[in-house]
Amino acid sequence: MDKLKEILSGEPKDLRALDIGTGVGNFIEVLQDSLPGYISIIGVDTSKEILNIAAERFKDGRIKFMHMDGENLELENNSIDVIAISNTLHHLPNREKVLSEIERVLKPKGIFIINEMISDNQSEKQLSHVKIHHLQGELDTLFGMCHDRTFTEQELIDIVDSLSLEKIDMFKYSTHEEQEKSENLEEEKAILDQVFQALELKINKINDMVIRGKYLKALEGLRNELYSVGIFSATELVIVCRKRHSLDFSLTEGGL
């Protein structure tokens, strides 16, 4: 991600970074490439199983993974130089608490990076991704997971504007124009095949026959529509912020 690398190029060396909701560590790869120097990157997630997969991917001793909830970060106040949260905000049952924790542990002048796919201003092919993602979110919610619909660009900007941070840059990537250069219809069909198979398996686990039938019908409609349209990844929005000053947090508010 060249633009992020350019934005962070002037940051000091010996940085401590944190990736919240790291999953298998995909955004840690972006941080590795974008940061001018780091002494540690910690990836945190609430799934031990996923963290075990992530740990197998990285052999750099400076990268560690911890089982931790973003609502209660077991980190000291003003202790992290760079914090990232990538495609995770819409999975948070208490987004405000997580954002408060981020502000608490971020150092003065520290960097906060939000990376999220957006639902608006997408091409027809990109809307295929959005529609699949929203169906996946409905199914996850049905099974007790927090998975809200994708944010619009303005909703993400409003979230950032509500924080005590200074917005220093914002950009998009994975646009339709970028993907159009390497359009591959066979590959798109293979992606849709895989996605629809996974969705059907999940739907068939629904015990209620009426609800299961409803979603199988919705899936069939989506199949008929999207195979004729194709699929591109939805555009992603990155917002980069800086902490203006040290906020007054007491140890009773989560610091160790």
**pLDDT tens per residue across span 3-53:** 999 999 989 889 999 999 999 999 999 999 999 889 999 999 999 999 999
pLDDT digits (tens, 9 = 90+) for 200-249: 999 999 999 999 999 999 999 999 999 999 999 999 999 999 998 654 44
Residue 84 structure tokens: 């990232």
How would you write the chain as a 3-class SS string? CHHHHHHHCCCCCCEEEEEECCCCCHHHHHHHHHCCCEEEEEEEECCHHHHHHHHHHCCCCCEEEEECCCCCCCCCCCCEEEEEEECCHHHCCCHHHHHHHHHHHEEEEEEEEEEEECCCCCCHHHHHHHHHHHHHHHHHHHCCCCCCCCCCHHHHHHHHHCCCEEEEEEEEECCHHHHHCCCCHHHHHHHHHHHHHHHHHHHCCCCCHHHHHHHHHHHHHHHHHHHHHCCCCCCEEEEEEEECCCCCCCHHHCCC
| 73 — pLDDT class (breaks 50, 70, 90) | very high
- Look up the pTM and report it: 0.91
What total number of domains does the chain contain?
1
What domain range is 241 assigned to? 2-252
Q: What is the CATH number of the domain that holds 96?
A: 3.40.50.150
Per-residue tokens: 41: 């990157």
What is the total residue count of the chain? 256
Residue carrying the six token digits 């590795």: 32
